[in-house]
Amino acid sequence: MRLTPPILWRSKGSFYQLVASKCEECGKFTFPVQSVCMHCGSSKVIQEKLSGRGKVVSFTVNYQHRTGFEKEMPQIIGLIELEEGITITAPIVEVSPDELKEGTEVTACLRRARADSTNGLIQYIFKFRPV
């Protein structure tokens, strides 16, 4: 896996701050952030930092690992409905699968994702943990 600083820097809003696009025409959110509304095509979009608070709609315990994520296994992946009404798919941490339930309230937290074994660059990303 090769991580490069420009990709991570360009994505800092989505990866580190949970910033989404909010359409001023239809009012809907698009995540990850982009300059055109995915729902209505309007370019009248603003960037808005989401609250990071939401609840678990559904979750899965994943055992199929990808390069660089071996230490994360097993990994809980949740479908999370945020307070703003947007639903995203994201890792859930600091909880065991037995404790987690649908409807559990969660909040975003910045955590390590993986490291580039070649140049030592560490990538962080927001995940979710129970409140």
Partner 1 sequence: MSKVYIAGASMTKVDRHYDMGINELYLETFQGLRNTVKEWIKPDTLIVANTYGEAVENSLALGEKLASTSSLQGIRTFRVENGDASGGAAIDLAFTLVKSGVSKTVLVSGVEKTSDYPSKYMTEFYSKTLNKYEFYSGINPASIAALMMNMYMKKYGKDSSYFAKWPIRMHSNAVENPYAYLKFKIDENTYYNSQVISSPLRLFDSGARADGAASVIVTDEENARKISDSPIEILGVSTSSYCYQPELTLPAVKDSFSNVTNKLGGVPKIIEIHDSYSILAALVLESSGLSKYGSSLDDIPDGVNLSGGLKARGYPGGATGIYQLGEIYMQLAGTFPGKRETGESGAIISTGELGSSAYSVVLVRK
* Segment lying near partner 1 (by CB under 8 A), choices 21-29, 46-54, 81-89: 81-89
The Cα-based distances of 52 to 45, 63, 127, 129 in angstroms read: 20, 26, 10, 10
Q: Which of 43, 47, 89, 119 binds partner 1 (CB under 8 A)?
A: 89
Instruction: Name the residue type at position 12.
Output: K
Distance from the Cα of residue 4 to its chain's centroid? 19
Comparing CB distances to partner 1, the nearer of 93 and 130 is: 93
Q: Which of 82, 88, 106, 108 binds partner 1 (CB under 8 A)?
A: 88
Comparing CB distances to partner 1, the nearer of 49 and 66 is: 66
Q: Give the burial string for 57-95 (b: 16+ CB within 10 Å, else e).
A: eebeeeeeeeeeeeebeebbebebbbebebebebbbeeb
CA distance linking residue 97 with residue 6, whole number of Å: 35
The reply on whether position 110 binds partner 1 by CB under 8 A is no
The reply on whether position 22 binds partner 1 by CB under 8 A is no
Q: What is the radius of gyration, based on Cα positions, of the chain? A: 16
* Per-residue mark of binding to partner 1, 35-74 (x: CB under 8 A): ---x------------------xxxxxxxxxxxxxx-x--
Angle made by CA atoms 76, 13, 103, in degrees to the nearest 5:
35
The reply on whether position 109 binds partner 1 by CB under 8 A is no
**Binding-site ranges for partner 1 (CB under 8 A):** 1, 11, 14-15, 31-32, 38, 57-70, 72, 75, 77, 79, 87-91, 97, 113-114, 123, 125, 127
